[in-house]
Structure 1
Amino acid sequence: MADVTGERSRAQLLLVGALALAVIFLSLSLLLNSVIYTENLATRQTHADVEKAETFRASVVDGLGGAVEYANRRNVTGFADRRDAYRAATDDWIPTLANYSATDGLAGDVDRAGVQQGTRIVDANASTGIVDRNGDGDWTMATDSSVRRFRLNVTLSSVDSPDDTTITIDDGTAQDVVVEDDGSGPQVRVVGRGTCELTRGHVDIGAGRVDGDYCPPLADARPTGTVDVSVSNGDGIDATYSFVVDRHSEGFRTAVDTANFPGQCTPPSPPTYATTVGDDPYTTPAIYAATARIGVATQDLDYRRTVRAAPDEAGEPATGPTFTTFNVTQSGNDFDVGWQTSDPNADVDSVDLRVTYVTNGTVYADSSGLSPNGSASFKDVPSGLAYYVNGTVTDGTSDRRVSEIHDTGACPP
């Protein structure tokens, strides 16, 4: 009988122990579930905050880009006017965005950081083609430039099968964009990549779109980095066009003129581009890009970024230096050169000057390692000859070049 009682006692102890363990496991399970729920809730809250911050960032970039394009389209010719218009537009828009973000539980702020000067090129004459001021359809549109917002509006009735207009974008590897009629109607053909039908005449090379629709062949040909842009048979169609480059007007115009008029003394008459609005094609100083510092704060997130807006810029942001001015003053057999430079990263390394003979390219004189802003003189240059006066500005990674032609009695050569 004693054995039976002992067995019952042991059984009772085992049952009590099992119940105790069950209570412990249940408690641990509830505690663990509570922790997991809390962490999941915190994670969901953090992810939601990050998504809101990213939406805020995207809204700021879109708003800056809209203000840049608004300023660039205004009928003004000075960069200060563009900058003031940009500031006025963002003055109205930034408080509205900040107030709107507050309704979404965010404390958002936007602090303008600056704008990068460039040049806008426009031809608004729809009765002519992609031509220079002389009406020439074979010419260089841009040299050694980052190009964005490159748009054409083509008159469809002017596109016919015998005449193909080709725009060549060259970053070291040339890519041809052809506007043509292959017999089935107008189209945009990217050589080696494919075609897209052209039904309304809108070609957005910068965004890779035709008639507003994404065109994969054209998207693959968008200008990235610094490129040269030229056109062949530009007078074969009627079209308007515009684009923005990251070079200052003076250096850009000088470089393009030298490319188009290699044997003509500076300034060519007429130059490639006019400076008067409406005298197509023409250039005006423009905003190439804008930057701002943004901040977004919630209970669980502190998000701060520097953002940049350069509408329809393909590839990496433009960071190369440029000449803001490059002037060569000739007095008899003396050349006095003055220059100023600019760089988005404010890290201009040096300027090099070189004088070469137009006839054979032989170097007459050069001077390297000069300051980013300065002047130099070349005295007693031999008479009766024509010379290229070349300038190169570098930041150690990339460089830009300009060139003017001057003579001592033998121009054109």
Structure 2
Amino acid sequence: MVRRESRAQLILVAAIVIGISIIGFVVILNTVLYTENVTSRSAIASTNSGLTSQLSLRSNAPIYIHHENQNQSSSTPSGIQSAINDSLAHYGDLIEISRVQQEPTSIEIETIGTPDTGALVVQDDSTRDFTNRNNDANWTLDDAAAVRQFTIFLDNDSLVADSNSEHAFAVNVTESAGSYQQLRFSRTASGNVTIERTGDTTGQCEIEPADDELKIDLWSGSVPGTSCTFAGADSMSTPEITYTNADNATGSYQLLMNDTTVPNGGRYASGGSDSPRLTYVVYRANISSTYATPELVQESRMEVVVYEPGSSSRLAGGIDSTGGAVGGESTSTPTPTPTTATPTPTPTPPPSNQPPSLDTLDASTVCNNWESGFFGPRCTARDVTVSWTASDPNGDSDIESVEIRVINEHLFGESEVASTTITSGDLTDQTETLSLSGDADRVVVVVTDDDGETDTSVERL
């Protein structure tokens, strides 16, 4: 016969067993959730770092290539191509060193195939006349090549007078199909510059120069800042370009071709720094990057255009970068400057159409209300405070908006829990507070200027 005391003991033991089982289940579940959360955060962090490196490459590759183009002054196409590959590999090493302190990281950056390389005829000694290295006044710059850029900077005082126009400096452009144009430059008694156009079309422009130097864009067929226009090299497939009476003009010029088949024949110096000289530059390249960590491997490809057709800017010592167009996908933020690596050689000044720069970003969160839950207390209402400073490399402070997004990371991915866009106040130095319910793991800030250019940064909470 079972006594009541025995039944009570059995019930007590059963309750204890059930309690221990529940506690064990909760502990196991909590461990699984914690492990999954830590693993997800690690993978997300690696993914963000990979995207960060890709966007950094998109921004910096044109500057690195332009820097090598200027520094190398290469006398062979293969020389500049090799130098650029070495420079990109060094850039990848710098990023790798900056990341390896957080996690094992391997980064490889290289060009795909042969970069598009062009011959560059350049004279940057503005005190020299336009004769070739043999001092020939009538000579050919290129025999028949597709022109990518062609700009002349003329010293107005070096031109002959209108009354002596038959001896005036002239640029002759002859297309393989037979079209022809001559531009003859002379100076009036009042100091204006006359451009006389003969050939398939005729006409004349008289220009009052704004300073001692006149800029002529022979690719687009224009004199910037004036209404003077003519047929440009962009309308001709493979023109021959010659100078006539080149001893009657002083200044500088740069002629960039789309290919490298330009004979020298003693007309130019080969590489170096003499004027005029023939050198080679990479104007477009396809680049691959591989970002590998223990958690993931990211591969990307992008096209980098360093010198757009028709750019007419100038830098001492060579051709100017115009900002560069970069194709490919990337949605992350610039990589922080490595603190333990060898400093990167200072690149040339940034182009005039640079995107805004998000210089500093700080984010913090404070819980305003705690509630008890099954797994312990949880925050149901919090404030996220975001402070930032931004700048415009162009110097005109044209930042139009700052977008702030607060992201919550969870087992099933991530979700946006709060956002706002600020368009008023001092957008270069401001603090904003967002109120929300639930958890928050990181803040994404996007700065946009009036050209639609953006810079993005991420701060974990």
TM-score of the superposed pair, with normalisation by structure 2? 0.39
Structure showing the higher helix proportion among its residues: 1
